[in-house]
Each structure stands twice: as C-alpha cells, then as structure tokens.
Structure 1
C-alpha cells in the first residue's frame, strides 16, 4: 500500500537526493565560488540515480521483496557517492580545490538514514504478512 510509513521515508530520500542538491552547495573552492552538484555530471548522475531508485521503490509496493532490494541498492549507491565526496575532499595533495565543505556533502548520509528506516519498515511489513499467512 502506498500510504505506509516507508513511502514517507522514501519520499524524504527523494527530497534529499533530487531536491536539496539545487539548494545546498557541495563545497567552496579556493576562489570562494560555491560548487553545486550541477557543476559535475558524475555527482548529478549519482544523486538523480538515487532519487530515481527511491521513486521506483515507492511504486513497487505490491512486491515488498523487490522494494527491499531496491532500497539496498540505493543505500550502496549513496555510499558510493559519499566515498566519491570523501575522495575528492581528502585525497588531493597540497592546496586542494576544496577549501570549505558545504552541507551538500552530507546529503547522502541523510538519504542513507531515510533508506535504512524505509527498509526497516518494509521488513516489518513483510514479517507481518508472513505471520498472518502462518495462521491460515
């Protein structure tokens, strides 16, 4: 059912992945210019891919197992995105291009939290259905 709590969590993950990337900057470079996800197609693709997986997962409510698997894939995608950000900000030697980190670098963490809560609710629904099937 689409009115379950996991739909709310997945909608929040969509907002973090697709909506807030246009509002919050990822970092500021040494010249003081704010860098957004729109400036790099890799970051934009990963963020929008995460939002698309969440959107697909919302409408897979009839098949809870595939919804759960899509949630796990989305968590992995967000960890990859977080790893790319960590690599970008820490692995450059000397004077880095990243002088000040923005809140945009934390958006994958917020998305991961929402996806974990959604997967927990999906698992709870699946366990409930299995317990009712045992009574039949």
Structure 2
C-alpha cells in the first residue's frame, strides 16, 4: 500500500483537506480576525466529505477502479469547494462586507486537486501494467 506513489499523493491530499484548513485561514476580515472554514457549515461539510473520500480511497488500494472513481468524485467535490470559495470572495470582497484580504486557505483545494490528478495518473498506470501482464498470459 505505502510503496505505491498514488498512496503518497493521497496521504498528502488527506493532510491538505483534513489538517491544513485548521492552520491556514480562508481570508482576513477588516477587523483583523482570520476567517477559518469552521465558521461556515457548508465548508465544514464539504471538507469533511472530501477528507473522508480521500481516506476511503487510501483504504481501497486493492480495488484500483473504485479508487479511481472515488478520486474523480473527490476532484469534482474540490472543484465545487473552490468555486464556493471564489464566489464568496468575489461577492464579499471589499471593505463594505468586512473582507480585507484573501488567505492561503483558499488555494488548498487547488493543491488537493493536483494531488488527486497525480494519484489518478499513477492508478491508471498501474491498471495498464496489470492489463498488459494479463494480456501476455
């Protein structure tokens, strides 16, 4: 399990969606306080689902097709999450609604998407290798 590169990518994606949102704020309010994802229930639910899907994908390392599908769904979920971040930041930008600057936490779904895509490429490569070996038999 751990010797496969896609597992490393998935563990990094798990850390990014499960732990780093607690560290990096989404944006800074004009009052100087950081806005973390825990202050909005939609973000909590979406990041929780994304983290759970990544963990399930790591545990299903013997079923590459299921892992591939779970990663695709997780990519779509992270794109939705990124879209919500961008929508909220664009609609709530400016000092009128007290959002003064964007934080690095908004870019965490992008990094997770990149890692999930890399994991899917490695899974596809493994699947192709297994199919080529089966073809030789």
- TM-score band by shorter chain is over 0.9
Normalised by the length of structure 2, the TM-score is 0.94
C-alpha deviation, 1:2, in angstroms: 4.4
- TM-score normalised per structure 1: 0.95
Q: Which runs of 5+ in 1 are unaligned?
A: none
* Consecutive aligned runs of 4 or more in structure 1 exceeding 4 Å deviation: none
Residues 129, 110 of structure 1: CA spacing in aligned structure 2 closer, same or farther, 3 A cutoff? same
The worse-fitting range, judged by mean Cα deviation, of 115-124 and 43-52 is 43-52
Following TM superposition, by how much is the alpha carbon of 1:91 offset from its aligned partner in structure 2, in angstroms? 2.3
Residue 30 of structure 1 and its aligned partner are, at CA, apart by 1.9
Cα distance in 2 between the residues matched to 1:97 and 1:83: 20
After TM superposition, give the deviation of residue 70 of structure 1 in Å: 0.2
Aligned equivalent of 1:84: 84
Q: Distance in 2 between matches of 1:85 and 1:44?
A: 12
Structure-1 residue corresponding to 2:109: 108
Distance 1:93 1:57 in 2: 36
Structure 1 match to 2:34: 34
Please give the alpha-carbon distance, in whole angstroms, between the structure 2 residues aligned to 1:88 and 1:52: 24
Q: CA deviation at 1:98?
A: 2.2
Aligned twin of 2:43: 43
Contact (CA 8 Å) 1:2, 1:61: kept in 2 or not? no
Deviations 1:2-48 (A, max 9, x none): 43110000000000001101110110112111011111111111112
Residue-pair matches, total: 136
Structure 2 residue runs of 5 or longer lacking an equivalent are: none
